[in-house]
Amino acid sequence: MNRNDDNPITSIRWMNDGIHVAIGTTEKTIQIWNVENQKLVRTMKGHNARVSALSWNRHLLSSGGRDSLIINHDVRVATHRIRYIRFHRVETSHVNFHCMSASARLNTTQRKFAD
């Protein structure tokens, strides 16, 4: 991986395989690198501002940006953007996958609206 002062790194997240790393940049891109052979695997676009947060769940990568979007990417396919999510109007500074069963999700939702 080469240093590029024109496109600083704004987020970084290792894939569970320990071989690939996703890098978010100020130039609105996500780069996926194979660190074993030090090669850029792919570059993905979709944000309108810097990519400030990344999170892996197997082959799915979620990215959050200064544009307040969260984008779910399937890195296995060419048309990688599978979902856009906008929850608020400020920068998304953290994304993280949390595994929860459907029944637990339902119970949490019911509790939230019952209050």
With 0-12 / 13-18 / 19 or more C-beta atoms within 10 angstroms meaning exposed / middle / buried, residue 100 is exposed
Provide CB contacts within 8 A for 11, sequence distance 6+: 23, 24, 51, 52, 53, 54, 63
3-state helix, strand, coil in the chain (%, to 5): 10, 45, 45
- Using DSSP, state whether 81 is helix, strand or coil: strand
Whole-structure pTM value: 0.74
- pLDDT digit string (tens) for 6-58? 789 999 999 999 999 999 999 999 999 999 999 999 999 999 999 999 999 88
The percentage of residues in the chain with a pLDDT greater than 90, rounded to a whole number, is 44
